[in-house]
Amino acid sequence: MTEEALLERLTAVKGIGVWPVHMFMLFSMHGPDVLPVGDLGVRKGVNSLYELNGLPEAAEMEKVCEKWWSYRSVEDWYMWRLVDANVAAGKAATNEEALSLLCESIGYGLHPSLVAGELEEEEAGWKT
């Protein structure tokens, strides 16, 4: 079953919305390419990383995060950690400071192509 079919089928059940289905796909099905467009933490992280004017709506999230295609579940995790880093830094003065704090807190460095948004297939690895 495709993600779209699963989303359509589960949201047809009264009381189940898009966000819970995205969380189910992320944490129970371990989907590698899930973009929870309604998740506040991910939206705040995308806003901070790309220095947008306000929280992005679903369509803007899809467009901005398209470059992360096939790795968007990893991107979600980084966006949540970026928000945590911003809070820990007291709303870091610059995005670079927040990203630096994020990388230090998880013990890894972000691959430069991920930060620049130029993810290339042959460079899609982690740096330690």
Residues identified as active-site = 39
Dihedral (CA of 41, 45, 48, 52) sign: negative
Helix (H) / strand (E) element for 111: namely none
Instruction: Measure the CA–CA gap between 78 and 114, rounded to whole angstroms.
Output: 10
Dihedral (CA of 37, 40, 45, 50) sign: positive
Tokens describing residue 127: 């740096």
Instruction: Measure the CA–CA gap between 120 and 12, rounded to whole angstroms.
Output: 37
DSSP state of 114: H
